[in-house]
Structure formats: C-alpha cells, structure tokens
Amino acid sequence: MKDLIDLFLREHEEDMMTAIKGAIAIPSVKDVAGAQPHAPFGYEVQRALRYTLSVLDCMGFAGENIDFMVGRTRYGSHTGKDYAVMTHLDVVPAGDGWTVPPFEATIRDGRLYGRGALDDKGPAIATIYALAAARAVLQSSGVEPENAIVLLFGTDEESEWTDMTAYQQHYELPSSGFSPDGDFPVVNSEKGLLGLRLHGTAQERSTLRSAYGGVRSNVVPSHAEAVIAIPAGRSDSIRMALTGSEEDDGFRVRVTQQFNDIVITVDGKPTHASTPGKGHNAIGKLLTVLDAVGALEGVPLLQYMARSVGTDWTGRGLGVDIHDEISGSLTFNLGVLSWCNGTGTLDLDIRYPVTATRETVMAVLGPSITAMTTGVTILDDTPPHYVDCSSPLVATLGRAYQDHTYRKPHCISMGGGTYAHLIPNAVSFGPQFPGHPATEHGPDEYIELDDLLVATRIYASAMVALLIGEPGT
C-alpha cells in the first residue's frame, strides 16, 4: 500500500504543488464590509472556495458549495462510518515584515512561502490528493471501502466558525475524524479559548488622544501606535523619559513630535496567539511605554493592563496563570486595541488548560476587569477538547505516521483551536513536524516542501485505513 501511495503522489506531485500555489495566490482574508449573499465572507474568500472545488473536480470528486461557506466532498461506502477531514481556506491578514510577497507562493531553499502555506491551504489541497491516492490504492487492489471520508473546507475558521454552524443546517457532522491544522504526531488535547472584548472610557484629565494596534485577537500584534497630548511644560520631560527606548527587548519604539502631540510607534514580532512566547506583543509594549510617561493616568482599563499584563503572556499579573500536566499553561494575548476620543476597546485571547473551565478563569479575572471596564463582551467561548490517547482513531493515525516517518507516535497538546473541537472523537493531525518552527500567523509563513509531501503520504495512508476499517477503527 505504501509503495502505491508513493507512486501515485509522485506522479501527481507537480499538479499538487501547482494547485497549492494557486490557492495561496488568493488573498482570502475575511472581508465583512465586502460581504454579499453569494460571498458571505467577501469576494476573495469565496474565490478560494470555488478554486478548491475546481481542484476537487479536476481530481474526479464531486464537490458541493454549502451556503457559500463550506466546501464538501464524500468518497466511500454509504453503509459504513463517515470520517471527517477538516481544513480551512481563510487566512489571517498578511501583516508586515515579509521578505517575499505573501500571496505569491514563493519556493526558496526547499520551503514554500506564503500566507496559508502552513495554515491551512497547503494541507487543505494536500488532503484532496491524499484522498485521490487512497482511492487509487483501493481501486488497484480491488478493495471496496467499508467506510467513507468526508473532506470539509471551511472559510471562517480564523474568525467565528459560522461556516460550520451553517454546514450543520444541511449535514450532520461525522462522529470521528481529524483536522490537518496542527502538529504531528497526534494532538489529542486542545486548550479552551475565551475571547473577551473589554470596553473602557477615559476621564477628562487623560492626555491619551488615540491608540491602535493588532489585526486579529488570535495573532500577537506586531504593530501599535498612540498619540498623546503634551501637557504644558512637559515636552522635554516626556521626550527624556522616552529616550533610550527605541530598541528594547525585541521591540522597536519610535517617538516623533507633531505640533503639540507626541506619536509613539511600536513594532514587535507577530505569531499565533496560542504560542505568544514566540512573539513580541506590540500592544503590551505600547501600554508600558505610555504608562511610564504618565499618559494612562485617567484611563483605568489601559493603565491596569499595562501594569498587570504589559508584555507578559502568562496571566500571572492577573492571577490566572493556570497550569495542568495534560496541556500546559494558560496563555494570554492582548490582541486588538482601538481607542479614540476617550473611549475604546481591547480584545483578549485567553487559552486555558483542558482541566480548567471558563468559570475557573472568570472567577479570578472577572472581578478585577469588571472594576476597570464599562462592559465586557464575550467574543469566543470554546471549551477545551480532549480525546483519549488510547482511542482506536489515535492508534490508526499513529500507525500511518510511523509508517512514513519511522518514529514512534505519541499524543501532544496545543493551544491552537481547530475544527476538531466540533467532533467529540476528532483530533488535530499535522502538518507541522516535531522540532520545526511554527510560522503560521507571522511574516514569511512557510512549510518545508519535504514535510508537505510526507504529510500528504501520511494522510493518504490514514485515509486508506479508515476507509477499509482496519481493526481498531
């Protein structure tokens, strides 16, 4: 079986890479302002969905466009069990700091660069070719599938998952499956996600005119800026206090004067909000700089966050540095800041361990932030997800991984939330291999070409096993 899969994918490798490049070339960032009835997340997201359906058609699969939100195809028996393979076609904004065009799919030094190369367009297109390889293996062997694989291509994964809500108005989700949107060997536990929007106001004495930063709460912000009024006689003292902060701890802080205002700009390093320690939060740094010069006096929400959080990502200053042995520590991200004319919002991305609950977090966090805000909006409330590592599904996926890597499989946890949350017996399965840097949501996102090709073979082997109902599945 392994040789047949390899032969098929070698024959189709060039076509697959062309298809992936075409998908990356579409800037499928959610565009609420450009939403239309036939493009609910904007033109480019719908274009990415239609493009993927065309790839399905080229590979001989009948694709469906569910409410212009989810792509779907199904291969296999109508009497056995369905297994979902769930990916997504939407991406986060490109952001700054790229050395290659983010939407041109550049191959350099054995890597495929582009927004979505790793998260999640590369794996999405790869699952089509993996299923085609699995079909070819069964057909050449004269074996009829006992079960079925359902490929699902979402378009709102980076935001609110309304795509999958719409999908479930038409089809019931399978009870088992995997999402190629994480790490190998097998991610059997994913942290809970709590997204909060804190609303605040300033008092009349505040010198803060405006402050902005971040593009999505699930991205560590790489850029933030603020404008503060210069109190009479304090121009020199403020500039003196800011002297020396231009290059500090991985941040770049720039200070300029415009008439009676001072503009402070901070550049950090973006990364996925599930791994905030790998980035440098520009909003957190901006708040600490503003607080240092007294610009947050009279702005209780932002002053509190500057002093309790700043550039820390553990939640320690807020008393929510929770940890468990299964999934590790809570992470805390100041994601999006919008402040103007004495009022504004700050969006938080909090990922908490699988043994905790939203109530656990809010019992500690709630009283303190409530005292500093004029209101709190819950943007996301996704509970933790856990599948027993001894489950038959995990065993089947682990065998496929071992067959192609010769490494012993084991279960791991991650902070990122994938579509696997939607299905009780689903896990995240690749495409990132152990020891390789996480580049999703940052500049110069890439996937190693060899990793992508091996991952496709692993997916094909796993699909064959699920289709024929290997013992234990």
Catalytic residues: 90, 157
Nearest to 167 by CA among 72, 53, 63, 77: 72
Instruction: Look at the alpha carbons of 473, 57, 17, 106 in this order and tell me if their dihedral is positive or negative.
Output: negative
Up-side HSE of residue 57: CA atoms within 13 Å toward CB? 10
Which residue is it, tokens 């796993």?
Answer: 462
8 Å CB contact between 332 and 313: yes
Rg (CA), the chain: 24
In the chain, the amino acid numbered 247 is: E
Residue 7 sits at φ, ψ, to 5 deg, of -60, -45
Q: Which of 78, 73, 75, 24 is nearest to 47 (CA)?
A: 24
Instruction: Decide if 115 contacts 94 (C-beta within 8 A).
Output: yes
Q: Where are the alpha helices (DSSP H) in 171-257?
A: 235-242
> Which of 303, 275, 292, 278 lies closest to 373, judged by CA?
303
- Residue among 463, 459, 444 nearest 104 (CA): 444
Query: Could you give the maximum distance between any two Cα atoms of the chain, in Å?
Result: 86
- Token output for 342: 């004495």
- φ, ψ dihedrals at 276, nearest 5°: -65, -20
Tokens read off for 72: 């779907």
**Which has the closest alpha carbon to 427: 194, 184, 161?**
184
The kind and range of the H/E element at 165 are helix 162-167
List, in sequence order, the alpha helices (H) in 25-155. Answer: 43-58, 121-141
- Cα–Cα distance, 322 to 68 (Å, whole number): 40
Helix (H, G, I), strand (E, B) or coil at 338: strand
What 8-state DSSP symbol labels residue 25?
T
Residue 306's identity, in one-letter code, is: A
